[in-house]
Amino acid sequence: MKAINKWMCFSLLGFMLVFEYGCDSQSRGFALPQGDIANGKEAFFELGCNHCHSAGDIAWISNPDNIRIPLGGEVPSIKTYGELVTSVINPSHKISFKYREGMTTASGESRMRNYNEVMTVQNLVDLVTFLQDEYDVIPPPTPYHVY
Ligand code: HEC
């Protein structure tokens, strides 16, 4: 009986080691190279993102449709790299509830311009690095009860 327990312990340890190395988050999944905040800011101007968005100290300019969506600022949960990349290259994939009204076309597509033919991958990487830096995560207060 004792021998079996020992065997089980060893195999469990072995499994845990394999699991640990197998799930190394550095080597798996989606990863883009390091971006540059200053270049991202520049790309934001060059691509005219500020016609519809303000971000940090970059003010909103204007656009014929009067679309005005501030980016950055305080958010209740982190904007992940993946979420921001998706918002830029596939804006209609997920449209935040607050933007559904007025910010989508009759067929439910985002009214954000599609940049995929003109934006370089480097622009995208830098833009996301710049935008991520503009968000501050402020978790909503959780009610604390003393029983
Ligand atoms: C013609 C107006 C327009 C332009 C120009 C524009 N956007 Fe947008 N953007 C929108 C609209 C409308 C939404 C909200 C609907 C949606 O999520 O697609 C949006 C949403 C976003 C979001 C998600 C915001 C959130 O809180 O979910 C990001 C990030 C974003 N845009 C980045 C960019 C970047 C970067 C550029 C420039 C490369 C850009 N946008 C140019 C109209 C625009």
Tens of pLDDT along 116-125? Answer: 999 999 999 9
Q: What is the DSSP string of 81-147?
A: HHHHHHHHH-TTS---GGGTTTSB-TTS-B-SPP-TTT--HHHHHHHHHHHHHHEEE-PPPPP----
pLDDT at residue 12, rounded to an integer: 60
Is residue 18 a part of any domain in this protein?
A: no
Is residue 19 a part of any domain in this protein?
A: no
What is the distance between the alpha carbons of residues 33 and 54, in angstroms, rounded to a whole number? 25
Tens of pLDDT along 2-11? Answer: 566 776 666 6
Structure tokens of 100? 């559904």
Is residue 141 a part of any domain in this protein?
A: no
What is the distance between the alpha carbons of residues 59 and 123, in angstroms, rounded to a whole number? 20
Residues at CB less than 6 angstroms from ligand 1: 47-49, 51-53, 63, 67, 69, 71, 84, 87-88, 91, 95-96, 99, 103, 110-113, 115, 127, 131
- Rounded to two decimals, the pTM is 0.82
Span 111-115, mean pLDDT? 95
* Protein residue closest via CA to atom 16 of ligand 1: 95
Do the Cβ atoms of 128 and 81 come closer than 8 Å? yes
Is residue 79 a part of any domain in this protein?
A: yes
Mean pLDDT of the chain: 86
pLDDT at residue 6, rounded to an integer: 73
Is residue 145 a part of any domain in this protein?
A: no
Q: Which atom of ligand 1 is nearest to the CA of 115?
A: 38
pLDDT at residue 101, rounded to an integer: 83
Tens of pLDDT along 15-73? Answer: 555 555 555 555 677 788 899 999 999 999 999 999 999 999 999 999 999 999 999 99
pLDDT at residue 16, rounded to an integer: 58
Distance in Å, CA 87 to ligand 1 centroid: 7
- CATH no. for residue 100? 1.10.760
Is residue 77 a part of any domain in this protein?
A: yes
Span 83-97, mean pLDDT? 92
pLDDT at residue 27, rounded to an integer: 63
pLDDT category, 141, cuts 50, 70, 90? Answer: confident
Is residue 2 a part of any domain in this protein?
A: no
pLDDT over 70 for what percent of the chain?
Answer: 83
Is residue 92 a part of any domain in this protein?
A: yes
Q: How many CB atoms lie within 10 A of CB 118?
A: 10
pLDDT at residue 106, rounded to an integer: 87
Q: How many CB atoms lie within 10 A of CB 38?
A: 10
- Into how many domains does the chain fold? 1
Range of the domain at 85: 37-136
What is the distance between the alpha carbons of residues 115 and 43, in angstroms, rounded to a whole number? 12
What is the distance between the alpha carbons of residues 53 and 66, in angstroms, rounded to a whole number? 11
* Protein residue closest via CA to atom 17 of ligand 1: 95
